[in-house]
Structure 1
Amino acid sequence: MALSEDDVRGIADYARIALEGDELAEMTAYLNDAVDMLEPILAYNLPDVDPTFHPIGSLSNVMRDDAVDADRAFTIDEALGNAGSSRERSFRVPAILGEEE
């Protein structure tokens, strides 16, 4: 299935990319080449294989509960013990965005 310049213009508009004249023709050729490279995939006959839309399947939440592990947690004093500089309950680091303190 070859893409026409109208198809590519529509894709570019949707992506908010301004293509004019030669750029549109060049992008149409480029996208058609990309689609042609995927053509060999259609040669596989896999009627019993369901499409995979996500590599992990139906896994919906991969985040753990945000809970303190009392066996591994540092106290503030332990955390700041090797700090080069600290103020109140925070690490002090050199400014990188300006001279403000």
Structure 2
Amino acid sequence: MPLTKEDVAGIADYARIALTPEELDEMTAYMNDAIDLLEPIRQYDLEGVEPTFHPIGDLSNVMAGDVPDTSVRALPLDAALRNAGSSRDRCFRVPSILGDQGGDR
């Protein structure tokens, strides 16, 4: 069932988009063309297929724990700081991005 101009005007109003009458005609045709492109998908037999909202299912956390892996050799601190533009103590020194705050942090 194609969208009517009233349908598209309602969608535009909901999205707070102002459309001229010409734009409304153009958008109605555009949205109906987009819906027509989805028609082949409607031909699939989806009987018994459960809807999903994520392609990986119920995966809840993909982040690894924030724990160093001691089985892998880590870069020594002196090697990490060797090519730094500037360093102090055991830290990289970088220019402030918040402006001059009256100190070296």
Indicate whether the TM-score tops 0.5. Answer: yes
2:46 alignment counterpart: 46
Per the TM alignment, residue 77 of structure 1 is displaced from its structure 2 partner at its CA by: 2.6
Partner Cα separation in structure 2 for residue 67 and residue 57 of structure 1: 27
Per the TM alignment, residue 91 of structure 1 is displaced from its structure 2 partner at its CA by: 4.8
1:5 alignment counterpart: 5
- Please state if 1:29 is matched with 2:36: no
The answer on whether the counterparts of 1:5 and 1:24 sit within 8 Å (CA) in structure 2 is: yes
Partner Cα separation in structure 1 for residue 66 and residue 24 of structure 2: 49
Question: Unaligned stretches of 5+ in structure 2?
Answer: 101-105
> TM-score normalised to the size of structure 1?
0.72
The alignment's C-alpha RMSD in Å is 2.6
> TM-score normalised to the size of structure 2?
0.69
Distance 1:22 1:60, change over 3 A: same
Per the TM alignment, residue 19 of structure 1 is displaced from its structure 2 partner at its CA by: 1.6
Distance 1:11 1:82, change over 3 A: same
Question: Unaligned stretches of 5+ in structure 1?
Answer: none
Partner Cα separation in structure 2 for residue 16 and residue 74 of structure 1: 53
Deviations 1:25-63 (A, max 9, x none): 101100001101111222222313223322101112212
More deviation, 67-76/43-52: 67-76
Per the TM alignment, residue 72 of structure 1 is displaced from its structure 2 partner at its CA by: 4.1
- Please state if 1:68 is matched with 2:68: yes
Distance 1:17 1:66, change over 3 A: farther
Partner Cα separation in structure 2 for residue 92 and residue 72 of structure 1: 26
